[in-house]
Amino acid sequence: MRYPILLSLGILAAACGESSSPAGPTPVVESSAAITAVSPASASTVAVPDQYPFIFPGGVVLPPGSGLVSVGVSLRSAHEVPWARLNVYLLTGNSGSDYCGENSPDAPTWNFLTSGWATPYTVTGFRVSRLPCDVTGILAVLHMRNNGLIAPPTASETIARSTFPVSFRINR
């Protein structure tokens, strides 16, 4: 008879040590567009093959899967979004807003993002507007603009953005 009582007391004592209240506030998820990988490596030169002609106006298209330039990103939305697109820019110069290429040949879109939505994506297709192109950074922008403009979205259209310093050249 003593053993069931001791067992009950042991269970009760263990239960008293547990807290039924949460350990703390629920962490707030923030929207983000983190650049996780860039190829080629800094100090490299990318030679665009003759099979990819330079078309004026418009530049040269490096098709998705060409293996010439790639940018890996990790995306997250903290809130619901009806529609989103990823734009990646090959920055040039020191202003942070000049670019010589963008990912229009490989610009994914998503519908009905839920709060906490996250995905990785690797961009491998770019349109390079001028050669040579001295790339000084990468700008990745997850945005809600749906009007066909190529220029970087405004702050009010942006879900998340990030930049990453690099240094490589794209030429013929």
Please tell me the predicted confidence (pLDDT) of residue 28.
Answer: 57
Task: Please check whether residue 5 lies inside any domain of the structure.
Answer: no
Task: Please check whether residue 6 lies inside any domain of the structure.
Answer: no
Please tell me the predicted confidence (pLDDT) of residue 125.
Answer: 98
Contact 88, 161 (CB under 8 A): no
Strands annotated E in 20-149:
32-39, 45-47, 54-55, 59-62, 70-76, 81-91, 99-102, 109-113, 118-123, 126-128, 133-143
Task: Please check whether residue 33 lies inside any domain of the structure.
Answer: yes
Task: Please check whether residue 81 lies inside any domain of the structure.
Answer: yes
Please state whether beta strands 81-91 and 54-55 pair in parallel, antiparallel, or not at all (unpaired). Answer: unpaired
* H helices present in the chain, as ranges: 2-16
What CATH number does residue 66 fall under? 2.60.40.10
β-strand partners of 128: 60, 101
Task: Please check whether residue 3 lies inside any domain of the structure.
Answer: no
Tens of pLDDT along the chain (172 residues)? 444 444 343 444 444 444 444 565 555 579 999 999 999 999 999 999 999 999 888 799 999 999 999 999 999 999 999 999 999 999 998 777 799 999 999 999 999 999 999 999 999 999 999 999 999 999 999 999 999 888 999 999 999 999 999 999 999 9
Task: Please check whether residue 12 lies inside any domain of the structure.
Answer: no
Task: Please check whether residue 50 lies inside any domain of the structure.
Answer: yes
Contact 49, 62 (CB under 8 A): no
Instruction: Specify the residue for token string 């665009």.
Output: 48
Q: How far apart are CA 109 and CA 85, in angstroms?
A: 4
How many folded domains does the chain comprise?
1
The two three-digit tokens of residue 133, written as one number: 């192109």
Domain that holds residue 46: 28-171
Task: Please check whether residue 21 lies inside any domain of the structure.
Answer: no
